[in-house]
Amino acid sequence: MEQSFINELKTIVGEQYTLTDRESLAVYGYDSTPELESRPGVVLLPGSPPEVARIMALCHGAGISVTPRGSGTNLSGGSLSGGGVVVQTSRMNRIVEVDEENLTATVEPGVITSALHREVEGRGLFYPPDPGSMNISTMGGNVAENSGGLRGLKYGVTADYVMGLTTVLADGELLRTGGKAVKDVAGYSLNPLLVSSEGTLGFFTAITVKLIPKPRAKITMLAHFPELNQAALAVSAIIAAKVIPATLEFLDKVTIKCVEDYSHVGLPLDVDAVLLIEVDGHPAVVAEEAASVEEICKRHRCSFFQTAKDADEALKLATARRTALSALARLKPTTILEDATVPRSCIAPMLQVIQETARKYNLTIGTFGHAGDGNLHPTCLTDERDKDEIARAHAAFDEIFDAAIAMGGTITGEHGVGLAKKRYLPRLVGESGIKVMRGIKNAFDPKGILNPGKVF
């Protein structure tokens, strides 16, 4: 990258926030995705949305690519840039407004998800999306990946809460979509298109989300299952009984052991699976739902059923679940986590496929996930130095994805396509799907400078 161009960038964000040294570029060459790395040409940390607009305009003029980056926790290589400009949003971390009358919050893109939770919950309000990474991930990253969370089953995903966006387009111009009006059918729905665009259509600089009243009561439960299959069937049975828990999370034996090693919350080490279940809402309804969840679990031969005695214990259990992915990395250095998602009635067969495939390729695969919405995370524990094992892991995931697609599922429920799953996308959406997506990309970014090479 030319020095004169870098100097111009410096005039926008300041010397201190323009990183060009080898060391910095090396550590901005990765995100949480295993195996992928690619060095940026320069890293910028702008302090305000207008700076982002100026950066975009300058890069557009020079034909240089821009990759937005939040905290780099995505699992699809989405924030890696090959030689271009990486723009990290962490300094733009103001909660601009909480509008209690309209039940909305407006934030800058670098706001950490859990910081928004704290702010609104202090006012009796609720922002439900809570990815496992909520203490690290940014709102910009959540919107770009359409992140789901532990409460996705009942409350939906990020897309269900985004009401308005201010987006800097590839050429530096501003696009405002949606707003605080609950109903809005003017023209094409651009909000949902921008949500899950993985940084390829525009750079979000302000995000307005919908808030709801904070549920008045919550009960957290943990059920132990000696048989994996029974746990899977219990999930379907709970939903079939028309109970929609806020959280219905699944952990298999391998995952349980790792999580317990780290968190010491008292998870059982002698069972095949546990379900972490949370029901929330009106106190009377919550009590009723908890009773029926317990009854269903017992019917499915759960060996032990525990109800968290207080908020503290509930938080401990949920927090332990959030560490599942990282805790799995205790066993082996490289964890390849996938995001295969099936209609929820297919959870039991999907788990079976995962187990069989692991056996067939002689791999250790731990599985956990948002069982309630069919979003499973089979996680292969490998060592990147063992090339043969890595190759087997990829072959196994090939089969797992094919099975998911065949069941009417998808290749990613929440992590996005990025670089990691590019090659699977055509299998899912077909040629026509790719053609339409390319057309959209062209309309937004004719020069192709926004996070190039991602998605397709």
Residues that bind ligand FAD (CB under 6 A): 31-32, 67-75, 78-79, 89, 109, 131-133, 137-138, 140-142, 144-145, 147-149, 198-199, 203-204, 325-326, 414-415, 451
Interaction residues for another protein, span 65-104 (CB under 8 A): 71-73, 88, 90-91
Choose between 84 and 374: whose C-beta lies nearer to another protein. 84
By the rule CB under 8 A, 136 interacts with another protein: yes
By the rule CB under 8 A, 23 interacts with another protein: yes
Q: How far is the CB of 321 from ligand FAD (least distance, A)?
A: 10
By the rule CB under 8 A, 42 interacts with another protein: no
Choose between 18 and 89: whose C-beta lies nearer to ligand FAD. 89
By the rule CB under 8 A, 24 interacts with another protein: yes
Choose between 135 and 364: whose C-beta lies nearer to another protein. 135
Name the one range near another protein by CB under 8 A: 165-173, 319-327, 343-351, 388-396: 319-327
Residue window 324-343: x/- pattern of binding to another protein, with contact defined by CB under 8 A: -xxx-xx--xxx--------
What Rg do the C-alpha atoms of the chain give, in angstroms? 22
Q: Which of 20, 38, 102, 135: binder of another protein (CB under 8 A)?
A: 135
By the rule CB under 8 A, 431 interacts with another protein: no
Residue 447 near residue 172, CB atoms below 8 Å: no
333 binds, among another protein, ligand FAD, none (CB under 5 to 8 A by kind): another protein
- Residues within the interface to another protein (CB under 8 A): 19, 21-24, 26-28, 30-32, 34, 45, 71-73, 88, 90-91, 112, 133, 135-136, 258-259, 262-263, 323, 325-327, 329-330, 333-335, 384-385
